[in-house]
Amino acid sequence: MSDLTTPAAYTLEDFRGSRKRMRTEHLVRAVLFLAALLSIVISVLIVASLVGEAWTFVSQVEAASLWSDGWFPRRGIYDIKTLLTGTLIVTVIAMAVAMPLGLGAAIYLSEYAPAGVRKLLKPVLEILAGIPSVVLGFFALTFLSPVIVQRLSSEATQFNIAAAGIGVGILTIPLVASISEDAMRSVPAALREASYGLGARKITTTIRVVIPAAVSGLVAAFIVAVSRAIGETMVVFIAAGATGGSLFSTDPFKPGQTMTAAIASQAAGTDQVRGAGLTFQSLFFVALLLFAITLVLNVLAGRFVQRVRQAY
């Protein structure tokens, strides 16, 4: 009872708990902070390891060899536009496959599908997202190339950019579907109800109300998918041929090279990156380019996703 009458007997120290608890608390906090900080260290390491060798490449390479007619790093021919064109073609084909299918699936799942169907289909799409890219590479080479691409063009070779592009597209369908669906589901039901209240049909509501309201998210889905397609390596590496080097080509039915596949194919086969002169450094240059492009796209996509979140 006397305790209650003399509250002044307590000091702040009494509420702090034992010193051991405090010590643990500080120690844990420090360790967790280091874990979080590691991500920044990794980013710094990525940039540092890329920039050093890339700079060696840029400062020593002959300017003429950067604009010739192919990518043959072991022979000192580093035509960047060959890789950029190959990457662009693969990305365009991939988006032509992934955007309609992914968006269609997203609209269906978000607006049309009954709850039961949705619950069944979402995991299937997630499993599609889990397929390793080497598997899709082999699928592109042994199925998509003979069954689809070589029927579209009798000129098509076994290894071709088009099959690789379709493979990359299949790989990005789940990504497009999941980001777009998230965006459309975050559109408030009140907007749909208002539209129905005015007598609009479901298709009108979907196309004229839900999609415009979610457009930032759909743009984000597109950008993330493009970034993913640009960064995809193994499908192109396996299905597009052109290991080692590639002539400049804009024909999707012929073998070709992308930035990612160019990096991987220099390292493969020989078990080790080697070659004349600047071969090793050229990989770092291409990787830095790739890193910069995907970084810009990802930051951009982040902005668009943010916009959806702020709007609703």
Contacts of 284 (CB under 8 A, 6+ apart): 49, 50, 52, 53, 54, 57
Q: Which of residues 137-166 bind another protein (CB under 8 A)?
A: 137-139, 141-143
Q: Using CB under 8 A, which of 94, 170, 225, 242 touches another protein? A: 170
Distance CA 50, CA 53 (A): 6
Q: Is residue 247 at the binding interface for another protein, with CB under 8 A as the rule?
A: no
**Is 173 or 209 the residue whose CB approaches another protein more closely?**
173
Q: Using CB under 8 A, which of 10, 96, 127, 194 touches another protein? A: 127
Cβ atoms of 235 and 170 within 8 Å: the answer is no
Q: Which of residues 284-303 bind another protein (CB under 8 A)?
A: 284, 287, 290-291, 294-295, 297-299, 301-302
CB of 253 to another protein, least distance (A): 20
Q: Which of residues 28-67 bind another protein (CB under 8 A)?
A: 28-29, 31-33, 35-40, 42-43, 45-46, 49-50, 53
DSSP per residue over 176-245, as a string? Answer: HHHHHHHHHHTS-HHHHHHHHHTT--HHHIIIIIIHHHTHHHHHHHHHHHHHHHHH--HHHHHHS---S-
Amino acid at 302: G
Rg value, the chain, Cα:
27
172 φ, ψ (degrees, to nearest 5) = -95, -5
State the binding string over 254-283 for another protein (x if CB under 8 A, else -).
Answer: ------x--xx--xxx-xxx---------x
Q: Which of residues 89-108 bind another protein (CB under 8 A)?
A: 100-105, 107-108
CB of 123 to another protein, least distance (A): 5
Q: Which of residues 105-124 bind another protein (CB under 8 A)?
A: 105, 107-109, 112-113, 119, 121, 123-124
Contacts of 257 (CB under 8 A, 6+ apart): 71, 82, 83, 86, 236, 240, 242, 245, 246, 265
Q: Using CB under 8 A, which of 62, 69, 96, 131 touches another protein? A: 131
Q: Which of residues 171-200 bind another protein (CB under 8 A)?
A: 173-174, 177, 199
Distance CA 132, CA 206 (A): 34
CB of 72 to another protein, least distance (A): 19
Handedness of CA 124, 129, 130, 131 (dihedral sign): positive
Q: Using CB under 8 A, which of 90, 163, 184, 224 touches another protein? A: 224
**Is 194 or 299 the residue whose CB approaches another protein more closely?**
299
